[in-house]
Each structure stands twice: as C-alpha cells, then as structure tokens.
Amino acid sequence: MTPDLEALHTALVERIDTTPAIRGAFDAHPRHRFIPDMVWPDATGLPLYRTAHPDRWALLVYSTDAITTQANDGGSGPRNEPSSSSSAPQVMADMIAAAGIDEGMHVLEIGTGTGWNAAVLSELVGQKGSVTSVEIDPGVAALARERLTGTGVTVRTAAAPPTGEVYDAVIATCAVTHIPASWLRALGEGAPLVLPWSPHPAAHSTPIAALRQGTPVTGPFVREGAFMRDRTQRPGDLPFPGLGQPPTPLAPFPVGSVELIGSGMMTQLLLMLPEVRLGTGLRPFHGEPGRIVWMGSGPSWAYLWPDGSVSGGGDRALNEELADAYQRLQDAGLPDLRDFTLRVGAESSSYRVACTALGQHWDHPVA
C-alpha cells in the first residue's frame, strides 16, 4: 500500500508548536517534495532508498527528527558523517519565530540543504519580500534549486553571503564557533541573526542564539540544537579525551553521570566552561556499558561515572570546574538556557557568554 504522504504531512504540521502563520507556511510546502529518494537513517551501514523501502522512507520523512540527506560530502567512509540534512521541523519553526520573519522582509539563509526551510521562508515573506539562500556544495545547491522552482527563492552556490548586500534577517542552518564577518556585514540595521553556536569547535551541542545587529552584536540563546558544522570550521579528527592514558581517581561528583545528563543542564555547563570539550558516551562500567560524561581540554581530561566517581588526568582540575559550575546552577535554581546571552565583537578574539541569573560571564576564545 502506497503511503498517503499528504495525510502524513498534515499530521506533521499539526504537531508543530508555533504561530498560525508559520504553521500555514509549513502546510504550503510538504516535506516529501524536498527530500531525496536516498537518505541515511543510521550512523553506519547503507543508505535507504525510497524505491526499495517506500514505507520506511515515508516514516523517516514525516518523523519529527532531522534527516541526513548526504553523508561524507557525497563520498564514503567508515561512518555516515552527516554533511547535508533536512532539519527537525520544530527546530526550523523555532528559529523562524526567533528571527521574526514576516511579509515583505528580505531574508538570507546560510545553508540551503534540501531547500525546504527556504520554501517555508518564501511563503512567509510573500511576493513583496525575498529569500536568498547560499549553499557551499554545488550538487546540493543544484538539487535544491530544482525543488524550489516557482517559490521565488534565489539559490547561490557559495561559501559566504553576497558581498555588499544587507538583509532584514539572517538564518544559518549550520553551526559555527567563529561567526564569519561576512555574516555580520549582511545584517541590516537592527536585523536578527539566528544561528547554532558552539563554544568549542568539537562540541556536540550547538545551542541556537538569536542575536541582533548592533555594537556589539548580542542576544539570548533560545533553544537547544545539534547542527552540522559549517564546512569551513570543521575541527578535524581530535583524539578522544584520555584515550590510552592512565586514570587517576579524582574527587567524586555530587551526582552520577546519568542523573547529570538527565538534569537538562549539560548545555549550560558547556557555556560555563571555556575551552572545554564536554560530551557523553558509553564506556564499560562494572562489566556493563554505562553512560558517562566526559571532559577534555588539551592534555587534561575527566570521566564522570554513573555512581558519581570521577577519574582523569592532566594538570587542569576539570572535575572541580564542572562541580563548581554545577553547584552554581543548583544554587541559582537551575537557570534556563534562555537566561544565557552571547555577545559578539566583530574583531574580537573571544565571545562573551553571560547569565544574569548567576551574575557571571565567561569569555570563550574563538580564533
């Protein structure tokens, strides 16, 4: 039986928590019209083809998750590293809302991908507005250009925005640590820049900030995110912290790794720890796989285990820094991510993250 894609699309749109205008823009552009027949459902293994598995393809397209539409820049590898995708619909809607997209606006999108986000934007700005989208991958740009026929969207194959043009809003669909000067120059007076930003180039978390043009450019974080890196800012292969190093028992943590991961504070902790990689992973624990929290900075590293014990090495007491940041969050009543702000100086070698609830700020090197 052939999946009823239109019905699936209607059901997906109804699940998006957003304004009626944004929901209507999604409704006008069904997701399945923008997803290629070949997608990558898993981190390893073969791609999935629509012709071979139409039901599973439809299930992936109309899930609430992101879909990997290209891996390894179109090549091959031991893992299917996402290099182009269709973002999760709710994340798209939240970013569009944060940018305040409305009729008549001139909008720049950085990272065209499938073209679905650009189509939604074009519906919102209408005939009086415009959407320009830049895509670094020529093949991805060409396919998106075809899918966007009739929407009025201009797709440009480029690594940076058009020189000399300014926009009422800029939305980036790829994560950066250093915000390119060309992105900032594209902002009109008071224009928003909504983008996934990560304080460390190898961090897994890329929280989304809604900045506003000014001196300096600044604004709050608005939600969690996990976006692919801008291709010009990929960190390369970095060794896993502590791999092959002899561990030393360190002071125990107030809670175990599983409780910390479930606390919803991992991104806040990342923002509070400059130059630290912070992540989660599986490691053997008492003979069984256990979810741990790991940290790394230069030669220093630390692992937090499910029972609250900590092991690590190096000359930086990462466990103490993590414990101090955790306690500050606890004492302040667990501030939301939206209580944190990002301040960007165009010529600065560091960006400032601040939290009013904590009365603190942290300077993150970005060179």
Beta bridge partners of 133: 109, 155
152 phi and psi, to 5 degrees?
85, 0
Whole-angstrom distance, CA of residue 314 vs CA of residue 296: 10
DSSP structural state of residue 71: E
Strands 130-135 and 154-157: parallel
Whole-angstrom distance, CA of residue 168 vs CA of residue 129: 10
b/e sequence 126-163, b meaning 16+ C-beta within 10 Å: eeebbbbbbbbbeebbebbbebbeebbbbbebbebbee
Beta bridge partners of 297: 300
Pinpoint the alpha helices (H) of 3-88.
5-15, 20-27, 54-61
Question: Which token pair is 294?
Answer: 């790991």
Which is catalytic among the residues 84, 87, 122, 257?
87
Question: Which token pair is 335?
Answer: 């501030």
* H or E segment and range at residue 122: helix 116-125
To the query of whether residue 86 is one of the catalytic residues in this protein, the response is no
Q: How many CB atoms lie within 10 A of CB 265?
A: 18
Which residues participate in catalysis according to the annotation? 87
